[in-house]
Amino acid sequence: MQHTDLYINGQWRPGSGAERFDVLNPADESVLASVASATPEDAIAAIDAAEAAFADWAGRSPRARAEVLRRAFELMTARLDAFARLITLENGKARADAMGEAAYAAEFFRWFAEEGVRAHGNLMPAPASGARILVHQKPAGIAVLVTPWNYPAAMGTRKIAPALAAGCPVVIKPASETPLTMLALMPLLEEAGVPPGVVNVLPSRSAGSLVDAMLHDPRVRVVSFTGSTEVGRKLLKGAADQVLKPAMELGGNAPLIVFEDADIDQAVEGAMQAKMRNLGEACTAANRFYVHESVLESFTERFTAAMAALKMGNGLEEGIDVGPLVNAETRDKVAAFVDDAVARGAELRLGGQRPNGPGFFYPPTVLARVPEDADCVADEIFGPVAAIQAFSDEAEVIAKANDTEYGLVAYVFTRDLGRGLRVSEQLEFGMVGLNRGLVSDPAAPFGGVKQSGLGREGGHEGLLEFMETQYISTAW
Ligand code: NAP
């Protein structure tokens, strides 16, 4: 399955600068592949290809585009094992997480095959003039897509599928930690019937100059980014020069609130999903656990037992739940969060010791009674560490949960549905899991408020990110 060159106009090419970079296996630090590094000249070649492909692709009927996407869904679903293996090799996540990601990634092709034929418009009489207001949606134009390493397949397909459904060609820059999965998807898209130039892939070690060149090419109209808030801010600034249509899926700092009337078993199960899916390397990962004082001990005991039962090891092996983190920097950052919290008085209930190498492993860790000023309360942990705090009052916990620059997702556990909905409405987050630890669904609008981003992916909204509204004033 392994391709290591750039994919431009349906062809594999080494980069124009002839530079390459290594992709590592985080489980043993061995080199998996040497991948071509794209330059700004390659970026312009990819945009040339996208431009040449645009009219034909946008001119096809929505149904014709939908059938290509449907075939992509079927082909990917038939090859989940191979994609999952590659995801584990380059990202480290355990097999069950990788299979989950591959299936989730394929679902975006199915969903947008279905949604692409529903780019509704509107017709209404102008209230005063007697004219008609005719509103329709058009493909927005060439889209630049930039994706992170934590979901090497799904963060790409969540953008490629709606862009193609809308009629837009794309140039995608995958994360340099994990470019192999996206490259491996290209032969599948060819087989599904995606014409040359409609999807181009540019791995690169020079993300800044590569993406900047594309954001300043007048043929580009959309930039869709998933990654850190820090890089998102830079891309928004770059996008301002040409007033591009931005979609930004940025960082999170998810609160998980367990009220005293919660079903504790359900809360533990939801917390395990919200914390440990993708071993905590998810923008949706529960980062701050707020547990009512009266159930703090029973929740913490049961949750710690569930965390202790997880088996850490090479994600390719049977029975492993927790693979390595993606790289040494991420592992060291997680370790520093734990050390800081403990130094400030948090109780270490599980884990906290990093094993000897090789591999970037960090064990499932539980911290209880984490003080408010610990670094992990303000920042994304992005690893298998649960930081638990106690609270005693509903208004207090809502205020604490909202006290962050982020606003991606929050989780609430309570048996009282009225309370659950009342609290959910007051949470300043784009998504809420109410008695559920998992919100991601291709059919739902995924995205954040505040500094967690702009725009939505999935649902019907995801399609509109790649379309422009046109209004025609007419009369008859
Ligand atoms: P990142 O450092 O922001 O990188 C994301 C992508 O941006 C990579 O492809 C990276 O390329 C590229 N990049 C880096 N600097 C750039 C620049 N100056 N100009 C243009 N592109 C640049 O994020 P990450 O560490 O890969 O991913 C973790 C972050 O993503 C977390 O904050 C997480 O919350 C967020 N995330 C958000 C969502 C969501 O839907 N809201 C989903 C998943 C992850 P290189 O790899 O080559 O550096």
pLDDT attached to residue 1: 58
How confident is the model at residue 139, as a pLDDT?
Answer: 98
Assign domain 254-442 to a CATH class. Answer: alpha beta
Amino acid, single-letter form, for residue 399: A
- In order of 8, 66, 67, 104, 427, the CA distances from 200 in angstroms are 5, 19, 20, 22, 39
**Helix residue ranges per DSSP H, 135-179:** 154-166
Q: Does the Cβ of 453 fall within 6 Å of ligand 1?
A: yes
Q: What is the model's pLDDT at position 357?
A: 86
Instruction: Locate CATH 3.40.309.10 in the chain.
Output: 254-442
Give distance in angstroms: CA of 226 to centre of ligand 1. 6
CATH 3.40.605.10 domain position(s) in the chain = 6-250+452-474
Determine the angle formed by the axes of helices 180-192 and 80-91, rounding to 10 degrees. 160
H-run or E-run covering 322: none
Whether ligand 1 lies within 6 angstroms of the CB of 154 is answered as: no
Task: Tell me the per-residue pLDDT of 59-118, one tens digit each, with 9 for 90 and over.
Answer: 999 999 999 999 999 999 999 999 999 999 999 999 999 999 999 999 999 999 999 999
Instruction: Say if CB 152 and CB 184 are below 8 A apart.
Output: no
Query: Which residue's alpha carbon is at the smallest distance from atom 46 of ligand 1?
Result: 175
Ligand 1 atom nearest the C-alpha of 148 is: 26
> Is CATH 3.40.605.10 correct for 6-250+452-474?
yes
Task: Give the catalytic positions in this structure.
Answer: 249, 283
pLDDT tens by residue, 230-271:
999 999 999 999 999 999 999 999 999 999 999 999 999 999
How many whole angstroms from 166 Cα to the centroid of ligand 1?
24
**3-state secondary structure (DSSP) of residue 84:** helix
Structure tokens at 45: 């070649």
Identify the residue whose C-alpha is closest to ligand 1 atom 30: 227
Residues of the chain with pLDDT under 70: 1
Cβ–ligand 1 distance for 147 under 6 Å, the answer: yes
Of 173, 212, 228, the residue with max ligand 1 atoms within 8 A of its CB, to mutate for a pocket test, comes to 228
Cβ(142)–Cβ(114) below 8 Å: no
Q: Is 327 in the pocket of ligand 1 (CB under 6 A)?
A: no
Ligand 1 centroid vs 305 CA: distance in angstroms? 33
Minimum CA distance residue for ligand 1 atom 8: 175
Cβ(266)–Cβ(243) under 8 Å? no
Specify the pLDDT at position 323.
98
Distance 394 CA to ligand 1 centre (A): 34
